[in-house]
């Protein structure tokens, strides 16, 4: 299973690169630097996916005390932090030539930075509690609160950046994207999701073996 | 013994202990005064600058003193070996959570009121008209801080390096509350009506409801062992 | 014309490759370590030579 998943992931990533660099056209306003989007946007999507999984697994753990749920939460948080780091780094690198600065407190970058620190704290908490059962319980509570915080973060940061009128919609309407660019983006979404699934699967199995070895 | 009575007993006990020793309140008040000095020295004596930064400074002050107060929520139980007594409490342990939360709220609101008073005196402010709005925002924001803070205090009570882990875990979660509180405070101090910041007040209220609910539902799990 | 800034594109993708690839390598390394540990735990019981069951008498 994991071998198949691994090969699918590799194929997906190759397809993503091909789409992002070969098929997608040179963007009109930004030039080729816009191609970073095919890395940046799927990364942030996977990060949010990962933390949603942490949320669900945390609830399942508290409700049923199933160790498998705890392992999934732990692994997903790890992978999520990884992709969050990639999101921030790629966003910063994209920002330098386009906005002229390495960092700006724009809504998305700010939200992702907060996300990063929150889940880094989650991993820190796990690392500092020796008793496995207690670590599982405590991180489950943290995982639930952090995830429920996400919409609050989204709105507060967005309103913070738009000075006067609070928007009545969730997000400003995205400008319609040419279909080739959208297709390339979607392929990369799929590839990164596969990568997430592969990492998650592998890490969960490793966690189980580590726990069995220590039992 | 009813749930409410159990919660009340926790608050009452903490208040009695505090009234006899007065150590926490006094130390926090002194800390607030020192914060005021710190802000003054760090930002220079330009009163205009301090007044324009006032919303942020106020909430920085509230958060810094709040962190100290919240971090100590379970210190009495921990230092006096009463932790097991907490674990053995019959019935729904979230009564303890609410009791501790109420105690923390009273403490933090008292410190905040004093801090506002100190700012008024030192910066010669006139905020009489803004007081009701300010009280509302302070109440909503402090409830947000205390609800998660009390929960995390229980969580970190037995972790090594808890003084470090507690703020590290709490502060990122509290950013929406901080943003909302500062923005609302800013508007109120500028004389704007509460309606202008309705979206922030709704956000703060939503945050409070979410945090309280999670706190009540999960405190049992934290206190299991 | 707008400059292409390929350097930035390369930097972003390389960084991602290093971070994600590095994690993958860590997983592979953990896998190998665990496999080695599991094998060394399993060997003592499986490797001892024993006499054939039929030739053993109850009193031996």
Q: Output the CA angle B134-A111-A166, nearest 5 degrees.
A: 50
Closest residue in chain B to residue A112, using alpha carbons only? B172
* Continuous H helices in A28-106: 37-64, 67-99
* Ramachandran quadrant class, C15 (left: phi over 0; alpha: psi -120 to 50; beta: rest): alpha
State yes or no: pLDDT of C2 exceeds 70.
no
φ and ψ at residue A31, rounded to 5 degrees: 80, -165
Cβ–Cβ under 8 Å, residues B136 and B112: no
Percent over 90 (pLDDT), chain B: 50
A46 contact C CB<8A: no
State yes or no: pLDDT of B178 exceeds 90.
yes
Cβ atoms within 10 Å, residue C22: 11
If one counts the domains in chain B, the total is 1
Cβ atoms within 10 Å, residue C21: 11
Nearest-CA distance A205 → chain B (Å): 26
The pLDDT score that the predictor gives to residue B50 is 83
φ and ψ at residue A66, rounded to 5 degrees: -85, 120
Residues in C touching A206 (Cβ below 8 Å): 27, 30-31, 34
A61 contacts: CB under 8 Å, gap ≥ 6: A69, A70, A73, A136, A137, A140
Token pair in block for residue A194: 């596969």
Q: Rounded CA gap, B22 and B24, in Å?
A: 6
The pLDDT score that the predictor gives to residue A171 is 46
The pLDDT score that the predictor gives to residue A150 is 95
The pLDDT profile of chain A, 215 residues, written as one tens digit per residue, is: 778 888 989 999 988 888 888 877 777 777 788 888 899 999 999 999 999 999 999 999 999 999 999 999 999 999 999 999 999 999 999 888 888 888 888 888 899 999 999 999 999 999 999 889 999 999 999 999 999 999 999 999 999 887 544 444 344 445 567 788 888 899 999 999 999 999 999 999 999 999 888 77
The pLDDT score that the predictor gives to residue C44 is 56
Nearest-CA distance A54 → chain B (Å): 16
Closest residue in chain C to residue A30, using alpha carbons only? C2
Chains touching A, CB cut-off 8 Å, 3+ pairs: B, C
**Residue B51: domain span:** 3-222
User: Residues of A at the B interface (Cβ-Cβ below 8 Å)?
Assistant: 62, 114, 117-118, 121, 124-125, 128-129, 133-134, 137-138, 140-142, 144-146, 148-149, 152-153, 155-157, 159-160, 166
Helix axes A67-99 and A37-64, enclosed angle (nearest 10):
160
The pLDDT score that the predictor gives to residue A88 is 94
Token pair in block for residue A189: 């979404």
Token pair in block for residue B29: 């008040």
Nearest-CA distance B203 → chain A (Å): 7
B34 contacts: CB under 8 Å, gap ≥ 6: none
Nearest-CA distance B1 → chain A (Å): 27
In residues, how long is chain A? 215
pTM: 0.88
Determine whether the interchain pair A121/B179 forms a contact, defined as Cβ–Cβ distance below 8 Å: no
pLDDT digits (tens, 9 = 90+) for C17-55: 999 999 999 999 999 998 888 888 776 555 555 656 666
ipTM: 0.90
B55 contacts: CB under 8 Å, gap ≥ 6: B182, B183, B185, B186, B189
pLDDT digits (tens, 9 = 90+) for B40-68: 888 877 878 888 889 999 999 999 999 99
Q: Rounded CA gap, A196 and A83, in Å?
A: 9
A33 contact C CB<8A: yes
CA torsion sign, A121 to A206 to C27 to A59?
A: negative
With H, G, I as helix, E, B as strand and everything else as coil, classify residue A27.
Answer: strand
Determine whether the interchain pair A138/B225 forms a contact, defined as Cβ–Cβ distance below 8 Å: no
With H, G, I as helix, E, B as strand and everything else as coil, classify residue C59.
Answer: coil
Residues in A touching B214 (Cβ below 8 Å): 141, 144-145, 148
CA torsion sign, A67 to A72 to A74 to A75?
A: positive
Residues in C touching A40 (Cβ below 8 Å): 12
* Burial class (CB within 10 angstroms; exposed 0-12, middle 13-18, buried 19+) of B161: exposed
DSSP letters for C17-35: HHHHHHHHHHHHHHHHHHH
Determine whether the interchain pair A94/C23 forms a contact, defined as Cβ–Cβ distance below 8 Å: no
Distance from chain centroid for Cα C21: 15
Cβ–Cβ under 8 Å, residues B104 and B69: yes
Chain C contacts in chain A segment 95-114 (CB below 8 A): 96-97
Residues in A touching C23 (Cβ below 8 Å): 79, 82, 199
Four-point Cα dihedral A20, A24, A30, A34, nearest 10: -10
User: Residues of B at the A interface (Cβ-Cβ below 8 Å)?
Assistant: 148, 151, 155, 159-161, 165, 168-169, 172-173, 175-176, 179-180, 183, 199-200, 203, 206-207, 210-211, 214, 218, 221-222, 224-225
Q: Rounded CA gap, B154 and A150, in Å?
A: 23
Measured CA distances, B159 to A83, A112, A130, B195 (Å): 28, 27, 9, 44
Q: Rounded CA gap, A45 and A191, in Å?
A: 12
Q: Do chains C and B touch (3 or more CB pairs under 8 A)?
A: no
With H, G, I as helix, E, B as strand and everything else as coil, classify residue A31.
Answer: strand
Residues in A touching B172 (Cβ below 8 Å): 114, 117-118, 121
Residues in A touching C19 (Cβ below 8 Å): 82, 85-86, 89
Determine whether the interchain pair A39/C11 forms a contact, defined as Cβ–Cβ distance below 8 Å: no
First CA to last CA across chain A, in angstroms?
A: 26
Cβ–Cβ under 8 Å, residues B204 and B141: yes
């Amino acid at each position: 299973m994991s071998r198949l998943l691994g090969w699918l992931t590799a194929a997906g990533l190759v397809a993503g690169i091909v789409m992002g660099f070969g098929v997608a056209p040179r963007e009109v306003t930004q030039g080729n630097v816009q191609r970073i989007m095919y890395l940046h946007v799927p990364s942030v999507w996977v990060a949010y996916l990962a933390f949603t999984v942490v949320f669900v697994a945390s609830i399942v753990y508290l409700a049923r005390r199933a160790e498998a749920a705890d392992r999934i939460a732990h692994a997903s948080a790890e992978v999520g932090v990884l992709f969050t780091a990639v999101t921030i780094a790629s966003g910063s690198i994209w920002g330098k030539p386009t906005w002229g600065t390495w960092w700006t407190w724009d809504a998305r970058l700010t939200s992702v930075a907060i996300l990063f620190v929150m889940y880094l704290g989650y991993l820190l908490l796990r690392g500092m509690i020796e008793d496995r059962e207690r670590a599982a319980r405590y991180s489950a509570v943290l995982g639930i609160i952090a995830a429920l915080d996400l919409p609050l973060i989204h709105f507060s940061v967005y309103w913070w950046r738009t000075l006067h009128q609070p928007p009545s919609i969730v997000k400003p309407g995205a400008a319609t994207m040419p279909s080739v660019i959208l297709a390339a983006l979607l392929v990369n979404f799929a590839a990164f999701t596969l990568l997430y699934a592969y990492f998650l699967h592998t890490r969960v199995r490793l966690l189980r073996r580590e726990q069995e070895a220590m039992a | 013994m009813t749930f409410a009575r159990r919660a009340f007993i926790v608050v009452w006990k903490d208040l009695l202990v505090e009234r006899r020793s007065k150590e926490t309140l006094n130390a926090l008040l002194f800390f607030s005064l020192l914060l005021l000095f710190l802000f003054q020295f760090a930002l220079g004596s330009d009163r205009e600058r301090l007044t324009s930064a006032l919303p942020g400074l106020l909430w920085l002050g509230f958060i810094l003193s709040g962190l100290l107060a919240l971090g100590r929520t379970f210190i009495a139980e921990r230092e006096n070996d009463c932790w097991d007594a907490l674990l053995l409490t019959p019935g729904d342990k979230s009564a303890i959570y609410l009791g501790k939360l109420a105690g923390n709220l009273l403490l933090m609101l008292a410190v905040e009121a004093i801090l506002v008073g100190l700012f008024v005196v030192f910066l010669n402010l006139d905020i009489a008209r803004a007081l009701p709005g300010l009280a509302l925002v302070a109440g909503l924001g402090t409830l947000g801080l205390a609800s998660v803070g009390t929960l995390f205090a229980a969580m970190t009570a037995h972790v090594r390096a808890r003084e470090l882990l507690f703020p590290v875990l709490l502060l990122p979660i509290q950013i929406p509350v901080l943003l909302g509180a500062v923005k609302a405070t800013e508007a109120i101090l500028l004389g704007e009506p509460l309606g202008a910041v309705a979206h922030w007040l709704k956000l703060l209220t939503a945050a409070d409801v979410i945090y309280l609910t999670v706190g009540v539902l999960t405190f049992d799990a934290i206190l299991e062992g | 014309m707008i400059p292409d800034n390929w350097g930035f594109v390369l930097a972003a993708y390389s960084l991602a490759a290093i971070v994600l690839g590095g994690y993958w390598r860590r997983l592979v390394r953990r896998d190998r370590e665990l496999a080695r540990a599991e094998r060394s735990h399993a060997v003592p019981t499986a490797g001892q030579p024993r006499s054939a069951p039929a030739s053993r008498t109850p009193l031996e």
